[in-house]
Chain A
Amino acid sequence: MSIQSEDVLKIAHLARLGIQDEQVESYASDLTNIMGLVEQMNQVDTTGIEPMAHPLDQVQRLRPDVVSEKNQREALQKNAPDIQDGLFLVPRVIE
């Protein structure tokens, strides 16, 4: 699988990742090499093998639906780049 510059731009957009124009080509070449490594998986036939999501086949543990955490808004917002009245600020979304 060869990854072209336009693929890189598309993936970067999907991941909301800004990348420099001058780096697009080198990402395309790196990603092509990495996918070449990944495709070695095709050496083995996995028809009928059940995909494995967890090494110990554990399933998600459930807990009673009760309040377990205190409100820590102020403490948590100390790391926020821009807040006002307890809200996170972002550029205008609706004109």
Chain B
Amino acid sequence: MYNKSLKELSISLQNRDISSVELSQYFLDRIKHFDGEINSVITLNEDAALLAAEQADKNIQSGKAGLLTGIPLLHKDIFCTQGLRTSCGSKMLDNFIAPYTATAVSQLEQAGAVMLGKTNMDEFAMGSSNETSFYGGVKNPWDLNTVPGGSSGGSAAAVAARLAPLASGTDTGGSIRQPAAFCGITGIKPTYGRVSRYGMIAFASSLDQGGAFAKSAEDAAVMLQAMSGFDEKDSTSVDRPVDDLLDHLGDSIKGLTIGLPKEFFTDDLDNDIREKVEAAVDALKSAGANIKEISLPNINLSVPAYYVVAPAECSANLSRFDGVRFGHRCDSPKDLEDLYKRSRGEGFGDEVKRRIMIGAYVLSAGYYDAYYKKAQQVRRLIREDFAQAFKEVDIIASATAPSVAFSAGEKKDDPVSMYLSDIFTIGVNLAGLPGMSVPCGFVDKKPVGLQLIGNYFEESRLLNVAHQYQQLTDWHLAVPAGYEKEV
């Protein structure tokens, strides 16, 4: 049951082989059985989920069902869910009950999906290993001594362990693609502005973008389709119709040109990972794609520019946590400044504090031009590099991450080495392009991810290439040892 595709589950529901209540209970039972060891879920939504499943069953009976009706899923705990705790992985919001629901969540709810709970994540989505969560780290189901990646590590680990068929995530610098790679599942971050950011707790507003985790590109397409679209409540949402993401999955990729950026295939890339990525590229070539070397000459500056832009925006966004209107407040503040400082000092963890301080520093008087303006100029150069590349190629391919999942604790005390684990993903966010990761093999029994990058609003083509790759390979069907059993 747990390894069935979304389409298969949907057919089983429509044929009444199983009810949504039964299916939801099945995955709730898997969460209860397995999540003690991986810690991927912060808050379970059991009672409300079963009620929503009952409603879905009624809709199925009356013939008002779509592909997602009655399908259980999990949401990253960064998405506000009315009446249910929305912690963002932080002590600051440990007691926060969202007064409204994020648009992306509402749209999935409208499509009939059943929310089973909220997943663990790096605090305020700041991290690449899920170790900065106030609720403790998440373990990678492929090897419990390693991290699941981050920041959407809980969502990725949960789908990998087959605790839910789908989960939402957000990606500011790689937070969907890198955990998807580490956990051996499929993850997609669409074009900036495609999924509404309304009710998605802000980290770096010009980079943040919601997206989907699933077992396959086809399943991810169904989920992303439901999440996407213009939302007037998000001032950066793009007013443009959403393509049909399922229509072109079956298209041939014959004649498509795939670019390999030479900067992503240097000697720094682990040899075993290179082999897996090259094998994946060969598979696409065998399906008729043309392969071409390209250059993104400024891409090596993406991590440096990101660590100005993202912390600057984070320091502004997180100034709302003041201990006055919502969130953590310190005990017996002696004056207003003490209230602010202690509430924030106690409510935020180390990594969040580091980034707020970097942001405050680069924006402070006298430094703005040297850092923030410079980073925005570099950002333009990076975008132009991609624009140039997309004149020659349809899709860009690379490894998603420079290594497989690393050990818990390995990079925890070395922020710079942690930041460099996103070197292949961050440029995509700076440029605002869509990107995804699909499983393409194993090194030391740990999953390797193939990153695919598309041009603006070409999610449909991206999913088409990923789907065609998954017709040729079965890496995406592999289930981590220990999680194949029924409970």
B99 touches A75 (CB 8 A): yes
Q: Which of B24-32, B65-73, B131-139, B323-331 contacts A (4 or more CB under 8 A)?
A: B323-331
Quick check: is A14 within 8 A (CB to CB) of the other chain?
Answer: yes
| B239, B328, B371 pick with most chain A CB within 10 angstroms | B371
B341 touches A16 (CB 8 A): yes
Report which of A30, A37, A54, A78 forms a contact with B304, defined as CB distance below 8 A.
A37
Shortest distance between the CB of A53 and any CB in chain B (Å): 6
Tell me the interface secondary structure of chain A in the complex: loop
Quick check: is A71 within 8 A (CB to CB) of the other chain?
Answer: no
B353 touches A19 (CB 8 A): yes
| Interface size, B (range) | 35 or more
- B residues in contact (CB < 8 Å) with A: 95-97, 99, 192-193, 206, 232, 235-236, 238-239, 298, 300-301, 303-305, 307-308, 315, 319, 322-329, 333-342, 344-346, 348, 350, 353-354, 356-362, 364, 371, 373-381, 383, 415-416, 419, 430-433, 456
A38 touches B432 (CB 8 A): no
- A residues in contact (CB < 8 Å) with B: 3, 7-8, 11-12, 14-20, 23, 27, 30-31, 33-44, 46, 49-56, 58, 60-61, 63, 72, 75-76, 78-82, 88, 90-93
B361 touches A61 (CB 8 A): no
Report which of B206, B304, B361, B415 forms a contact with A39, defined as CB distance below 8 A.
B304
B356 touches A79 (CB 8 A): no
Shortest distance between the CB of B211 and any CB in chain A (Å): 15
Chain B residues with CB under 8 Å of A58's CB are: 193, 236, 238
- A16-B344, A17-B357, A40-B301 are known contacts. Are A55 and B376 too (CB-CB below 8 A)? no
Chain A residues with CB under 8 Å of B192's CB are: 55-56
Total CB contacts across the A-B interface at under 8 A: 170
Q: List 23 A-B contacts (CB under 8 A).
A: A3-B361, A19-B353, A35-B361, A37-B304, A37-B307, A40-B301, A41-B305, A44-B381, A46-B374, A46-B377, A46-B378, A49-B377, A51-B376, A51-B379, A52-B383, A63-B232, A78-B97, A79-B95, A79-B97, A80-B324, A81-B324, A81-B326, A91-B339
B354 touches A27 (CB 8 A): yes
Chain A residues with CB under 8 Å of B348's CB are: 17
Chain B residues with CB under 8 Å of A33's CB are: 415-416
B358 touches A79 (CB 8 A): no
| B338, B354, B377, B456 pick with most chain A CB within 10 angstroms | B377
> How many angstroms between the C-alpha atoms of A40 and B239 in the bound complex?
37
Residue of B nearest to A47 (CB): B377
Report which of B238, B307, B341, B381 forms a contact with A49, defined as CB distance below 8 A.
B381
Residue of A nearest to B356 (CB): A15
A14 touches B353 (CB 8 A): no
Chain A residues with CB under 8 Å of B239's CB are: 61
Report which of A27, A40, A63, A91 forms a contact with B338, defined as CB distance below 8 A.
A91
Residue of B nearest to A28 (CB): B357
Shortest distance between the CB of A78 and any CB in chain B (Å): 7
Residue of A nearest to B372 (CB): A51
Shortest distance between the CB of A6 and any CB in chain B (Å): 13
Residue of B nearest to A60 (CB): B235
A14 touches B416 (CB 8 A): no
Chain B residues with CB under 8 Å of A44's CB are: 298, 301, 378, 381
- A8-B357, A30-B354, A51-B380 are known contacts. Are A79 and B304 too (CB-CB below 8 A)? no
> How many angstroms between the C-alpha atoms of A79 and B339 in the bound complex?
17
Shortest distance between the CB of A27 and any CB in chain B (Å): 7
Chain A residues with CB under 8 Å of B371's CB are: 38
Chain B residues with CB under 8 Å of A20's CB are: 345
Nearest 8 pairs of A and B residues by beta carbon? A55-B432, A18-B345, A51-B376, A79-B326, A81-B329, A52-B380, A46-B377, A18-B341
Chain B residues with CB under 8 Å of A79's CB are: 95-97, 99, 325-327
A31 touches B357 (CB 8 A): yes
> How many angstroms between the C-alpha atoms of A15 and B312 in the bound complex?
11
A11 touches B337 (CB 8 A): no
Chain A residues with CB under 8 Å of B380's CB are: 49-52
B344 touches A34 (CB 8 A): no
A90 touches B361 (CB 8 A): no
Chain B residues with CB under 8 Å of A30's CB are: 354, 415
> How many angstroms between the C-alpha atoms of A42 and B370 in the bound complex?
9
Chain B residues with CB under 8 Å of A50's CB are: 377, 380
